Amino acid sequence: SNDWSMIGLQSGFAIANGIVTATIVGGILPILEHLFKITTDISWLEASDLNHPLLKRMTIEAPGTYHHSLVVANLAEAAAEGIGANGTLCRVCSYFHDVGKLVKPDYFTENMNFERNPHDDLAPTMSALIIIAHVKEGVDLALKHNLSGRIIDIIQEHHGTSLVYYFYKRALQQQEDARAGGKIMKMREDDIPEVSEENFRYAGPKPQTKESAIISLADMVESASRSLEKPTPQKIEQLVTDLIAQRIADKQLDECDLTLAELRIIAERFRFTLMTMLHTRIAYPKPETKTTSSRDDGLRPDVMASTKKPDTAPPISAA
């Protein structure tokens, strides 16, 4: 009888201890995180809820950006886990890295309906300003919604000081045309504005942590992968390798502590994840048929329905 009483008493204490511990930890954890400016994995898991007001807005106002962010989250999480970085942090921060595009969603390729390209009516410098501004606008929205400081850092860093290459090249072409006689724009030699590369670069800072660098790379790789026609394992591998090499050459990874060995693992995780996601698009040989259309020969099945893309539209990876 005494033994059973003791077992019952100890069980009661164990249950009470669990309840009290859970209550104390749940109540004190946010305070400790605020005091020490850290975010625990528990909080990151809570923040991964896709019902956040900003993400719900994105599904309606910028659905292309929303889908892009989900794919970046998959790429970044897989790469982070491959090198022992914080995969949950990468997933959550990827969800929010492009929230600034909510301010002018139609100016970003993934949200364009291709009936009209708003950049057609703008000078390249103005287009670049709109593209670059999504970083600052993202920070403003994140602050307004009390998002974590790590999320805000990654919003600021995910483009580093990289070049908005499409509009920079467009500005150079317009400058060259003006000096050659002005087929695009007619103006006197003295009135032709100089094109400064600095005006077409993001303000930075460059990625400061492994997680920030991974999201920066995943963002670039996902955007570029959407422009692949008939993706194959070789094309995907070459794309990933080239893009990471470009970021290294542009010194965008100089301020984070990623090693070359880790970059190789990240590239392999990107390649594998993209292959998994794009496997339904991989082009396989088809039996010849009598009714073939030469116009659609080079198109992926998922873009056949939207081929009226204006000639002047920026490439998928412009932003």
Per-residue pLDDT tens over the stretch 127-180 = 999 999 999 999 999 999 999 999 999 999 999 999 999 999 999 998 888 777
The answer to the question of residue 63 being in a domain is: yes
Note whether residue 172 is domain-resident. yes
pLDDT confidence of residue 294: 41
The answer to the question of residue 296 being in a domain is: no
Mean pLDDT over 61-81 rounds to 98
The domain total for the chain is: 1
Q: What is the pLDDT of residue 308?
A: 42
Instruction: List, for residues 17-50, the tens digit of each pLDDT value.
Output: 777 666 655 555 555 555 555 666 666 677 788 9
Residue 97 maps to a domain: yes
Instruction: Look at residue 294 and tell me if it is in a domain.
Output: no
Q: What is the mean predicted confidence (pLDDT) over 271-293?
A: 66
Domain that holds residue 257: 48-282+308-318
pTM: 0.77
Residue 273 lies in a domain: yes
In a domain, 12, yes or no: no
In this model, does residue 257 exceed pLDDT 80?
yes
Band of residue 296 on the pLDDT scale cut at 50, 70, 90: very low
Q: pLDDT tens across 81-103, in order?
A: 999 999 999 999 999 999 999 99
Query: What CATH number does residue 58 fall under?
Result: 1.10.3210
Within-domain flag for 184: yes
**One-letter-per-residue 3-state SS of the chain:** CHHHHHHHHHHHHHHHHHHHHHHHHHHHHHHHHHHHCCCCHHHHHHHCCCCCHHHHHHHHHCHHHHHHHHHHHHHHHHHHHHHCCCHHHHHHHHHHCCHHHHCCHHHCHHHCCCCCCHHHHCCHHHHHHHHHHHHHHHHHHHHHCCCCHHHHHHHHHCCCCCECHHHHHHHHHHHHHHHHCCCCCCCCHHHCCCCCHHHHECCCCCCCCHHHHHHHHHHHHHHHHCCCCCCCHHHHHHHHHHHHHHHHHCCCCCCCCCCHHHHHHHHHHHHHHHHHHHHHHCCCCCCCCCCCCHHHCCCCHHHCCCCCCCCCCCCHHHC
